[in-house]
Amino acid sequence: MKSTNQIELTAGLFLLLGIGALIFLSLQATGGASAIGDGSYQISANFTNVGGLEEGSDVNMAGVTIGTVQRIALDDETLNAQVTLSISERYDQLPRDTSAAIYTSGLLGSQYVALQPGGLTETLADGDKILLTQSAVVLEKLISKYMFNSETEKGG
Amino acid sequence: MDEPLTTRTPLYSLRQLGASGIFLLRAFARMRFGATQWRELIRQVYFVGARSLVIIVTCGFFVGLVLTLQTYDTLSRFGATNTIGTVLALSLFRELSPVLTAILFAGRAGTSISAEIGLMRATEQLDALELMAIDPMERIVQPRLLAGVLAVPALSLIFSLMALLGGLFFAVYLMGISPGTFWGNMQANVELVRDFLGGLLKAAAFGFIVSWLAVFFGWYAKPTGEGVALATTQTVIASAIAVLLVDFVLSALLL
């Protein structure tokens, strides 16, 4: 039988190992680290169709992830989709006339917002709105357009 | 009130379910935290937690290896082997680590708890404690229940860690996936609260269930060698069924 001291020491070591695993896994294996990281600011953009874009989707510029989609809601007046983008504070030099487009990674992959920088020296700040947007390409629409077009061609 | 339930009574299973519920209420009715309680809790964390480390570490590593092997093969048919880290981490955190840890824990620690308490009953140690005005519920049952709730999440985390190391070893060193792809894909797609902490909550619930069943079957074991043997067997069977059933319910609620 081990002494009480040794037992308590081993129990403590064991729990410490568990806590160590918790910290390591939550920082290394989940997206938690970037969420706690630096601050962010919000900009919004209106799209006529967001397709399969979801809250939490990436926001890219030149292929680099600079933020996430924070909220998608229907604008009551214009009946467009109003998308709020949360951009990391490190990237606060986006030109005022930056445009946004919704693309799909791969043919059937998840959708993301791609920002295309403009040329103005003024920069976007918290609460600003992106005016130039390009909606998601809805695959079904494209296919049906193609099919019906070929139908009419055949008919005519 | 504490005599063993005989299988001959009608509605045996239903009675047993009721008895286990009443047992739990009794265990928590007199929940107290004195210095001796803490000492006993730490001792139990050592016995059920630290002593289960060997089986958890080895099983975790091999589960990680074989999971990566199988998933890699499946993903390569779709040309999606880059997502291996995500698939691995999601299946481990959300499902495999809590469930496998709980079942291994039932086999390693649950059996020893119920055999120990069954033997205490058979050798009249529980009665002796009561004669000394020490409540066995407080001294024996409560620390083991709480130790399970503490130990299983910790073991589940260690299981995940070892399985990810096993997966990393297979995917990166044997299959040539770059470590950046492995971790980066994981970080991009695994959510801290929903996937990771949800799984941890499941592990705590399983730890509670397994240690509850272990103390319950030990407490009501027939005071014979056969009775103790039966109690340990019942602990493993009931734990496995209860864990998998609760797993479904919790997954549906949490995820």
| Contact (CB<8Å) B50/A35 | no
pTM of the predicted protein model: 0.75
Note whether B60 and B163 are within 8 A (CB): yes
| Contact (CB<8Å) A18/B154 | yes
User: Is the pLDDT at B10 greater than 80, yes or no?
Assistant: no
Closest CA–CA distance from residue A84 to any residue of chain B (Å): 20
Chain A positions in Cβ-Cβ contact with residue B38 (cut-off 8 Å): none
| Contact (CB<8Å) A15/B195 | no
List, as ranges, residues 18-47 from A with C-beta within 8 Å of B.
18-19, 21-22, 24-26, 28-35
Closest CA–CA distance from residue B12 to any residue of chain A (Å): 39
Chain A positions in Cβ-Cβ contact with residue B161 (cut-off 8 Å): 21, 24-25
Chain A positions in Cβ-Cβ contact with residue B190 (cut-off 8 Å): 29-31
Residue A125 pLDDT: 84
More confident: B190 or B98: B98
Band of residue B114 on the pLDDT scale cut at 50, 70, 90: very high
Please give the Cα distance from B31 to B207 (Å, whole number): 18
A138/B contact by beta carbon, under 8 A:
no
Residue B239 pLDDT: 95
Distances (CA, A) of A144 to A43, A138, B75: 34, 10, 31
Residue B248 pLDDT: 94
Band of residue B55 on the pLDDT scale cut at 50, 70, 90: very high
B231/A contact by beta carbon, under 8 A:
no
CB neighbours of residue B155 within 10 Å: 33
Chain A positions in Cβ-Cβ contact with residue B158 (cut-off 8 Å): 17-18, 21
Note whether A48 and A79 are within 8 A (CB): no
- Per-residue pLDDT, averaged over B72-82, amounts to 89
User: Is the pLDDT at B138 greater than 90, yes or no?
Assistant: no
User: What is the end-to-end Cα distance of chain A in Å, rounded?
Assistant: 94
Share of chain B above pLDDT 90, in %: 62
Residue A106 pLDDT: 67
Chain A positions in Cβ-Cβ contact with residue B91 (cut-off 8 Å): none
| Contact (CB<8Å) B196/A25 | yes
Tell which residue, A46, A61, A74, has the closest CA to residue A112: A61
| Contact (CB<8Å) A25/B195 | no
Closest CA–CA distance from residue B106 to any residue of chain A (Å): 18
Residue B218 pLDDT: 93
| Contact (CB<8Å) A8/B43 | yes
| Contact (CB<8Å) B187/A10 | no
pLDDT 10s digits, A88-98: 888 888 888 88
In degrees and rounded to multiples of 5, residue A114 shows phi and psi of: -105, 130
A120/B contact by beta carbon, under 8 A:
no
Note whether B159 and B60 are within 8 A (CB): yes
Note whether B173 and B218 are within 8 A (CB): no
A78/B contact by beta carbon, under 8 A:
no
B109/A contact by beta carbon, under 8 A:
no
| Contact (CB<8Å) A14/B49 | yes
| Contact (CB<8Å) B158/A18 | yes
Closest CA–CA distance from residue B23 to any residue of chain A (Å): 27
User: Is the pLDDT at B71 greater than 80, yes or no?
Assistant: yes
Of A10, A11, A24, the CB nearest to B161: A24
Residue A48 pLDDT: 87
Band of residue B229 on the pLDDT scale cut at 50, 70, 90: very high
B49/A contact by beta carbon, under 8 A:
yes
Band of residue B58 on the pLDDT scale cut at 50, 70, 90: very high
The backbone region for B79, taken as left when phi is positive above 0, alpha when psi lies in -120 to 50, beta otherwise, is: left
pLDDT tens across the length of chain A (156 residues): 567 788 888 888 999 999 999 988 888 887 766 555 567 888 888 888 888 787 778 888 888 888 888 888 898 888 888 998 888 888 888 888 888 988 887 666 678 888 888 888 888 888 888 888 888 777 777 888 888 876 665 554
Share of chain B above pLDDT 70, in %: 96
Tell which residue, A125, A133, A135, A131, has the closest CA to residue A43: A125
Residue A1 pLDDT: 56
Residue A156 pLDDT: 44
For the ranges A59-68, B1-10, B20-29, B51-60, the one whose mean pLDDT is highest:
B51-60
| Contact (CB<8Å) A11/B43 | yes
Q: How far is it between the farthest Cα atoms of chain A?
A: 95
Which residues sit opposite A64 in a β-bridge?
A61
